[in-house]
Amino acid sequence: MRETIPAARRLNVDWFNLTRKKLVQLTKDETGRSYRPSDFEKFLYSLESGPLDVLATGLRADGGRRARTYANMTIWVGHPYLPPSPFGAITIGHVVFVAAEHTYNRALLAHEYIHVIQQEHRGLLQLDRYFTEAALELLAGRQHAGPGNREEALGYLWESYVQAYKAENGPWCEFRPTDGNVPGECG
């Protein structure tokens, strides 16, 4: 994937020596979120991401259907305007609005899961961080949602990791799929 090396560079890591362990540590450092949150932390995260979940619920009412359910993430397909073209997916709170052809794209879902946990830990503040990075990228003449956007870089790394190593273990762990479509996954 052409975003892989720029994403690694953005986060000051060496892609060719990136183990799962290092990637998990990087995920903790970048998102500030526990990899295996306690019940109390989960409660705090639900408060943080609450407003975004309310927004997502409102948007879901415009159309589409639930395609898959993870314990911590709902995959919604067939929405009339989300994700906006040409994007494959967009994450709002715990809902991933995905283009139909990507419903089972595990690498892309790994990327989107990073946005879920970013928003869990920072809530609305995450949008602020995201759009600040996006604006800087645009000013630099690059794509706003490319790997130069630090809030995207980690997602691209996980996407590449799952793709390159056919990894069963995405960035999710305690939040396993609950709909039976995908085998349980936890490192």
The least distance separating Zn ion from the CB of residue 49, rounded to whole angstroms, comes to: 16
Nearer to Zn ion, 83 or 177 (CB): 83
Q: In the numeric block, which tokens belong to residue 23? A: 């990637």
Nearest residue to the partner Zn ion, using Cβ:
155
Nearer to Zn ion, 64 or 155 (CB): 155
What span, in angstroms and rounded, lies between the C-alpha atoms of 115 and 67?
19
The least distance separating Zn ion from the CB of residue 152, rounded to whole angstroms, comes to: 5
CA quadruple 145, 147, 148, 151: dihedral, nearest 10:
70
The least distance separating Zn ion from the CB of residue 159, rounded to whole angstroms, comes to: 8
Nearer to Zn ion, 98 or 167 (CB): 98
The least distance separating Zn ion from the CB of residue 178, rounded to whole angstroms, comes to: 23
Residue ranges that bind Zn ion, judged by CB under 5 A: 152, 155
The alpha helices in the chain, defined as continuous H runs, are 4-10, 20-31, 39-60, 106-122, 124-139, 150-164
Nearer to Zn ion, 156 or 175 (CB): 156
Pair type for strands 73-77 and 95-98: parallel
129, with CB counted inside 10 A (0-12, 13-18, 19+), is middle
